[in-house]
């Protein structure tokens, strides 16, 4: 069974460090909004979206 999703790349505040993740197509915008506002962990600096590609 194939699952569709989006692989995304987020830039962190640490120079040269990026977060690579995957999200369901239906949840992608919500996931990006959360990471851009809150970062990937509690009390973390927000991340910036660099791109995404459907798989």
Mean local confidence (pLDDT), 8-25: 84
Give domain status of residue 32, yes or no. Answer: yes
Give domain status of residue 1, yes or no. Answer: no
pLDDT interval class at 43 (50, 70, 90): low
Mean local confidence (pLDDT), 33-42: 73
> What pLDDT is attached to residue 17?
83
Q: How far is CA 11 from the centre of its chain?
A: 9
- Number of structural domains (the chain) is 1
The per-residue b/e assignment along 25-38, b for 16 or more CB within 10 angstroms, e otherwise, is eeebeebbeebeee
C-alpha span between 46 and 21 (Å, rounded): 15
Domain that holds residue 35: 6-54
Q: Is the pLDDT of residue 5 over 60?
A: yes
C-alpha span between 35 and 25 (Å, rounded): 16
C-alpha span between 11 and 52 (Å, rounded): 12
């Amino acid at each position: 069974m194939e699952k569709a999703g989006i692989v995304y790349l987020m830039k962190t505040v640490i120079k040269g460090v990026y977060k690579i993740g995957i999200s369901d197509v239906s949840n992608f915008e919500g996931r990006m909004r959360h990471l851009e506002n809150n970062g990937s962990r509690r009390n973390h600096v927000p991340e910036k979206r660099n791109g995404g590609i459907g798989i």
